[in-house]
Structure 1
């Protein structure tokens, strides 16, 4: 990101000093200001704030610059990058648009393209779109072999894409082996007590969750969480993710009190009193009633309920939907876990929270 900002400041200053697009002077000035505000928020990891500026720069770039222009590519790719940081899957499509705006700005194996190629490779691998993932992975590998063969962290990035492909194919042992290699590389580069070293432990834990080996998952999540707690601010995404994975794992192990500790920790780091912002940290998929499967029936159920001080669901009432699906949906909702609301530093109950469960047949 620092590379892009330095290049932007130099090139855009030259751009503004000329007479081209004089009638668009106001918008080009706004574009420059928005890009610099974006960079400030992005560097501070304030990704929600950065997104507002990234989206505005993206819109302005489409008005100001032709397809293939450097600034249009840069604004579009930074918009995609911010969406990715916020977990919005639309980043893949935005990045594709950015690559369509590449023009002649970079050689196909330019090091400047490593990041966007890597994002595409990993994103498509996670979506089990293997053909696209392999296409972009080959570009990442070309850049690595040509420019960065001694860079161990880029080798770790390639291993992460390969591990995601293994996971999508159900080759969990191969995926775990690659995450262990990433962990070992991280120890070499960052040291044993650095938070970045233990991010692969979250990935290994997820593999064990997928295989329903909950005790093994707990080991990896707990070790990562210990290091994150010691080194990271409470609102850091890595620490919050480790809390969420521990909620899931303790629930699956039947240790609800342990899960509650992490629900409350998430709540205190992200206090909210707005009912419409509550989303479950842990949820179980409802069992589709077999008799309704045979009849080809679909439907939905909306419940109103209370989230208590521990983040558990109480006082469930069906407010609309199909009675035929009520029992199955209710059994699922009873197991949901939330981060409770916080008032004056203490968890409190929230009433009249609504959640909709939809039953749809795949075929």
Structure 2
């Protein structure tokens, strides 16, 4: 049987890797039954990706039927395994083990066919790094990714892979691989700051991650500086609102409040209010909140409580005049809920281009973990 080699598309994005694409042009019209089954399955998979429906089921069928056609050692089997791994939805150890096994299978094939330092192996290495439970193994996979990137003689590509590595390690293994993640991030950031505009996607992502590292170390001024860089990039260079800008404003509200700089926080409350319409029918989401203290004597007797409060969000986003509408568990819960709520910050309501006061409600629940 004549086999057609299907091409692997390396999705080297900084965000979630896009579905690996396989070319199905010139498939033999007189193919045997396994080839026909695979051809139909793969076309169904492509249609599912386009429609964003049933992707996992069709990816699995394309993988199993393709493996029957191409065998256990063919690039196409590796590519189909990667597609299937990316298509698996849901959370949990079992699903992560399944994803890891597919990426591991793909890497074994591609490394054998092209070499361990081949660019063809990058998607599989990143997948293994993302789904291994071992911080040591994740760091090792990512080190291989960066070594491969260096062979391409493309400095930006190296920086992109370092940012990818920093993001993954910070997200999943920050307690064990903090130093490695921080080093990768600083190296990527240095390249971006010297070679890319402040409004570039890469620079914005690096700024977010550096701000997160700084906040975790309670270096609030550095975090504020990087988040303000993001806001400035949108204000000066980009003529549209974006979720990244909204997130930066929101984080700045919290950081300024932590420093007791409510006036600075207010500027960002107002900026968010202009970007996001006030929704009368929904409970508003606070931009900064302080958790209520569990009354000591209630905690001692494992007593639960609940408080529903109505309050005013003034034109600067401060909480005013909180009132208890109903409660369960006693007045101690009411007192604690009120004390916490008075410190919260919101994006105020805008009418005719100006901030105004508005009424909102919130329910605070007090529950003891009895496990």
TM-score normalised by the chain length of structure 2: 0.67
1:98 corresponds to 2:99: yes
Q: 1:10 aligns with which of 15, 23, 26?
A: 23
For 1:114-133, list aligned pairs within 5 A.
114-120=125-131, 132-133=134-135
- Is the partner of 1:168 in helix, strand or coil? coil
Q: Determine the structure 1 residue equivalent to 2:86.
A: 77
User: Following TM superposition, by how much is the alpha carbon of 1:360 offset from its aligned partner in structure 2, in angstroms?
Assistant: 3.1
User: What is aligned with 1:45?
Assistant: none
Q: State the 1:11 CA deviation.
A: 3.8
In structure 2, the CA distance between the partners of 1:230 and 1:117, relative to structure 1 (3 Å rule), is farther
Distance 1:327 1:13, change over 3 A: farther
Matches within 5 A, 1:116-195: 116-120=127-131, 132-146=134-148, 148-149=150-151, 151-161=158-168, 167-168=174-175, 179-190=185-196, 194=200
* Per-residue deviation, 1:269: 2.5
Q: Rg: which structure is higher?
A: 2
Whole-angstrom distance in 2 between the partners of 1:301 and 1:217 = 34
SS at match of 1:8: coil
In structure 2, the residue matched to 1:357 is 365
1:338 maps to what in 2? Answer: 346
**What's 2:258 paired with?**
252
TM-score, normalised by the number of residues in structure 1: 0.68
- 2:48 aligned partner: 34
Alignment of 1:183-222 (within 5 A): 183-190=189-196, 194=200, 196-222=202-228
Q: Distance in 2 between matches of 1:236 and 1:16?
A: 47
How has the CA–CA distance of structure 1 residues 160 and 277 changed in structure 2, closer, same or farther, with 3 Å as cutoff? same
Taking a change above 3 Å as real, the CA distance of residues 13 and 335 of structure 1, as seen in their structure-2 partners, is: farther
Residue correspondences, number: 329
- What secondary structure, in the 3-state scheme, does the structure 2 residue paired with 1:319 have? strand
Classify 1:316/1:3 alpha carbon distance in 2 versus 1 (closer, same or farther; 3 Å): farther
Please give the alpha-carbon distance, in whole angstroms, between the structure 1 residues aligned to 2:295 and 2:347. 30
Kindly indicate whether the alpha-carbon contact (under 8 Å) linking 2:49 and 2:55 is maintained by their aligned counterparts in 1. yes
Q: Is 1:275 aligned with 2:276?
A: no
Corresponding residue to 1:229 among 220, 226, 235? 235
Displacement of 1:184 in angstroms is 0.9
More helix by share: 1
Looking at structure 1, the residues matched to 260 and 174 of structure 2 have their Cα atoms a distance apart, in angstroms, of 26
CA RMSD of aligned residues (A): 4.4
Higher mean C-alpha deviation, range 151-160 or range 71-80: 71-80
Match of 1:87 in 2: none
Correspondence 1:57 to 2:34: no
Aligned-residue offset at 1:191: 5.1
1:111 maps to 122
Stretch of structure 1 that moved more, 7-16 or 315-324: 7-16
Counterpart CA distance in 2 for 1:261 and 1:152 is 34
Cα drift, residue 78 of structure 1: 4.9
- Contact 2:317/2:348 (<8 A) preserved: yes
**1:166/1:112 CA distance change after superposition, 3 Å:** closer
Cα deviation, residue 282, structure 1: 1.4
